[in-house]
Amino acid sequence: MKKTKKIKMKTRKAAAKRFKITGTGKIMRGNTKRRHLLEHKASGTMRQKKNASLVHDADVQNVKAMLPGAF
């Protein structure tokens, strides 16, 4: 009988750099609109954007597919 080779799932490296998994299994992401044109943005807004946010429920399945070894 011929043996078949098991194919490994590969992690999408771009996604691995952008998302982090919490201890409870939730997915964290960085916030947008912090790269340029900062002089007219309110300081309170910028303080809120320092902290990471959770990935929306509608996108969790797609992110999990890109990070097969994380779950």
How much is the mean pLDDT over the chain? 95
Q: What is the CA radius of gyration of the chain?
A: 18
At 31-45, the pLDDT tens digits run 999 999 999 999 999
User: What is the DSSP pairing of strand 19-21 with strand 27-29?
Assistant: antiparallel
pLDDT band at 71 (very low <50, low <70, confident <90, very high): confident
pLDDT band at 66 (very low <50, low <70, confident <90, very high): very high
pTM for this entry:
0.81
pLDDT at 1: 73
Distance CA(32)–CA(41), nearest Å, equals 13
Distance CA(71)–CA(54), nearest Å, equals 16
